[in-house]
Amino acid sequence: MNPRFTRFWARILVVVGLALAASGVFLAAVALVIDMPWGSITGHAVAEVTLVAFFLAVSGVLAGVPFIVLGQVVLVFLDMHDLLTRIVGRLEADASPRIAGRLEAGASPQAVRPTGELPAP
């Protein structure tokens, strides 16, 4: 697995989601300006066009949010993988001198098992 490739596509998903949300809000504003009957503005027409623009903006945001969430979840999993790799490396490095010391004392490799204790900070 190449984490750079996966990280790149996760960021692309976030950008696509942001673009969808922003375009929904922008197109709602455009619809509000274009569809407004400027010659004869009445309360009913203003309310109707404003309601349509609101629902267009909400639909754009709702279209973009799943992409943003999916991209962020993938980035979190990649960060967790990196952190767990570092933790395992440190634990193995801390445990290897103890196991090597027991092997030098004459114990067979099968008998040497980690004690289950965590190293002191």
Question: Could you read off the pLDDT tens digit of each residue along the chain, which spans 121 residues?
Answer: 678 999 999 999 999 999 999 999 999 989 888 877 777 777 787 888 888 889 999 999 999 999 999 999 999 999 999 999 999 988 888 877 666 565 555 555 555 555 566 656 6
pTM value is: 0.68
Six token digits for residue 119: 């190293």
What pLDDT is stored for residue 118 in this prediction? 62
Residues 6+ positions from 92 with CB-CB distance below 8 Å: none
Residue type, 46: V
Residues 6+ positions from 55 with CB-CB distance below 8 Å: none
What pLDDT is stored for residue 98 in this prediction? 65
